[in-house]
Structure 1
């Protein structure tokens, strides 16, 4: 065992984004900056990252946001950037170690701050965390084994991405069937029911770009709820819940149970022959999301991926139009789409379970080898 500070050197060089491209650090490791990521206006205040560096988000509540850089670039100042000492630490081994469940928990334990707001583990504190440091040949063997598992996980991510594209494309068919377009202001209205004292026992709901409305406990966002839920909004089964900051990326969906949502969300109730299922299919379609993006208000531009504090106004949203057939045809098409999307959702569930098992295997493999429970071939 050795403290991290004894096997890495911190890199703390500030650079300009025009010289070094922006990188994202998340569940997939260090990658070129993802589309839709908010950028700061102070582009010069970024940290340099070189090929072979290790990068980790100092926000220790962002578990798993770390990895090995495969290209030069720059990251936000909230990240810690480290160069491994190659004579004692194999970079690829460190990549997997930092992403293991055991290290994530230890990294979080060393953090300080207010959990509901900010919980950080800066480099000084992280440098004191002790990590298993087997001989370099063993580190290399562990990394080679886990590289194969990570490649499998990457394939599953590609498959899941393709399935989500197919699922969102289901709603696109509704725009090409020649139905009359009707303004949303005639088909739904905003409701603003607060939890108060009577509804605080309702389950917390969140809105995912990929999954729509789901129980907060099932979400991967790890959002922290306020201690006082009285001002949270009540969403009833059949309502459409809109994350106003993520609507232009597909952050909306149908509530299937009564629950509580963030006060910043919008809760819309269908009327006038519109069903929640039809509304969800149409409003999560690429065509409708594109139309919404034209009305996002904030600092910056969505087409350049640098909009800050983006939000859509409900009044602007209700000014948009959607295709709407007669009620009998609407039910018939909705039933068919339910079958199609149900099959896709079943496949996505199986992919997610397999991915989770592979991640567990990665973490267990490191622990088993360094503790002697498992020998490398």
Structure 2
């Protein structure tokens, strides 16, 4: 059993007793060499790491004003609206000036270990905490900000062990996720996707079923309940200012900090309050599928309906999947009204009588496990809370 100690680092917590703490500038130095992309191929800094420049990347005419990247460098986008875009580069090349490029000082550092560490949600939170700016989407963290962030430093052999273990395990998980995604893509031509099957029929195909009496649902497991929308959600219609509550965007991928591309208005004091756990949906049919369970407190424009869960035992991710199905979108807009399609709206008075299904809490939770397992696994091992030898 490895003896642990308090690291004294808020975002890390306990670490093995033999591990060291180091400042960022003790193991990395700022590489600020200006180059041309004619000499050094342009690279893109993405959430999946450093890759040859994507065809979709925004191009500029300032080809001679870029930063040099060498294989082994850590590169991170300094802006908060590119959160999580970073990685240890396996390529020589060049990146735009918005990125920070760091050269490792110690040849004994294991690149893959640090790649895992820097891709944790906890590091992203810490990185942006050290930043500065006027508004969220212009918030930046540069080298002068980040150089004093405290990191952890296992021995090289431990770094290697952790990197090898996580590389193997995350590859297995990614292959499983890819397989599921491939199945979902294949099944899109059918009426029900894999996700729809799970959230409306459950994971056990052998349980006794019953007719739900709900046209868009069909059969459900015998033990599942039916509920009206207003039995599990209440309308949150609290008006707030975006100076008190940060503006959020309601997108097809969920509720996120306001996008740089979002249409802005001068009506900053006439917005709706959103609390973490609320379900938010755009009521207009031309924003079909724009909804999600929010993980953030904030505010949204009045075109959105904000609903507060009445039961704390509801599993947010289950309902997030349910509300993102094509079948729910069809049902939601069926209850709306309007003169023409792009002004067709479904408000709370329309939707409160929509009938939903309610599995047991344990069945709801099973759907969320795979993605959460992957994220927690990486953090536990790169911070030493779990050791590789215990997992074999």
Equivalent residues of 1:153, 1:358 under 8 A apart: yes
Higher relative CO (Cα under 8 Å, sequence separation at least 6) belongs to 1
> Is 2:271 the counterpart of 1:228?
no
Deviations 1:341-372 (A, max 9, x none): xxxxxxxx989752332022101222234xxx
The answer as to whether partners of 2:117 and 2:382 remain within 8 angstroms in 1 is: yes
Shift of 1:153: 4.8
CA 117–205 in structure 1, closer or farther in 2 if over 3 Å, else same: closer
CA distance in 2, matches of 1:352, 1:23: 34
Paired residue for 2:370? 354
Instruction: Give secondary structure in 2 for the equivalent of 1:51.
Output: coil
Structure 1 position 43, deviation (Å): 2.5
Q: Measure, in 2, the Cα distance between the counterparts of 1:106 and 1:82.
A: 17
Give the drift of 1:113: 1.3
User: Aligned in 2, Cα 1:168/1:56: closer, same or farther, shift over 3 Å?
Assistant: farther
Match of 2:53? 33
**3-state SS of 2:68 partner:** strand
Mapped contact 2:42–2:52 kept (Cα < 8 A):
yes
- What residue in structure 1 maps to residue 72 of structure 2? 52
Kindly tell me the number of residue pairs found equivalent between the two proteins: 252
**Aligned mate of 2:383, from 356, 367, 372:** 367
How far apart in 2 are the matches of 1:222 and 1:376? 43
Structure richer in helix, relative to its length: 1
What CA deviation, in whole Å up to 9, does each residue of 1:296-329 have, x standing for no partner? Answer: xxxxxxxxxxxxxxxxxxxxxx9xxxxxxxxxxx
> Residues 250 and 292 of structure 2 are in contact (CA less than 8 Å); yes or no, is this contact kept in structure 1?
no
- Quickly say closer, same or farther: Cα 1:130–1:228, change in 2 above 3 A: same
Q: Any residues of structure 2 matched to 1:282-293 within 5 Å, and which?
A: none
Residue 240 in 1 paired to residue 283 in 2?
Answer: no
The runs of 5 or more residues in structure 2 that have no matched partner are 1-20, 192-236, 242-246, 273-279, 294-298, 303-328, 334-341, 343-364
Seen in structure 2, the aligned counterparts of structure 1 residues 374 and 75 have a Cα distance that, compared at 3 Å, is: same
2:125 corresponds to 1:81: no
Partner SS state of residue 132, structure 1: strand
* Distance in structure 1 (CA, Å) of the matches to 2:100 and 2:38: 21
- CA gap 1:353/1:31 in 2 versus in 1, 3 angstroms: farther
CA pair 21-235 structure 1, distance change in 2 beyond 3 A = same
TM-score where L is the length of structure 2: 0.52
TM-score, structure 1 normalization: 0.54
Q: Which residue of 1 aligns with 2:24?
A: 4
Distance 1:27 1:352 in 2: 21
Distance 1:73 1:352 in 2: 39
* Structure 1 SS opposite 2:29: strand
Consecutive unaligned residues in structure 1, runs of 5 or more = 172-197, 242-251, 264-275, 281-317, 319-348
Q: In the alignment, what sits opposite 2:165?
A: 145
CA change 1:116–1:63 in 2 (3 A) is closer
Does the 8 A contact of 1:239 with 1:255 survive in 2? no
Q: Offset of 1:6 from its aligned partner?
A: 1.3
CA contact (8 A) 1:237 1:255 kept: no
For the 8 Å contact 1:238–1:256, the answer to whether it is kept is no
Cα distance change on mapping 1:255 and 1:109 into 2, 3 Å: closer
C-alpha distance in 1 between matches for 2:79 and 2:292: 33
Match of 1:100 in 2: 120
8 A Cα contact 1:254 1:277, kept in partner: no
Call closer, same or farther: CA 1:56–1:112 in 2, change over 3 Å.
same
Residues 119 and 350 from structure 1, CA distance in 2 versus in 1: closer, same or farther, beyond 3 angstroms?
farther
Q: Quick check: 1:207 aligned with 2:251?
A: yes
Q: 1:153 to 1:238 in 2, by over 3 A?
A: same
2-structure distance, mates of 1:152, 1:167: 23
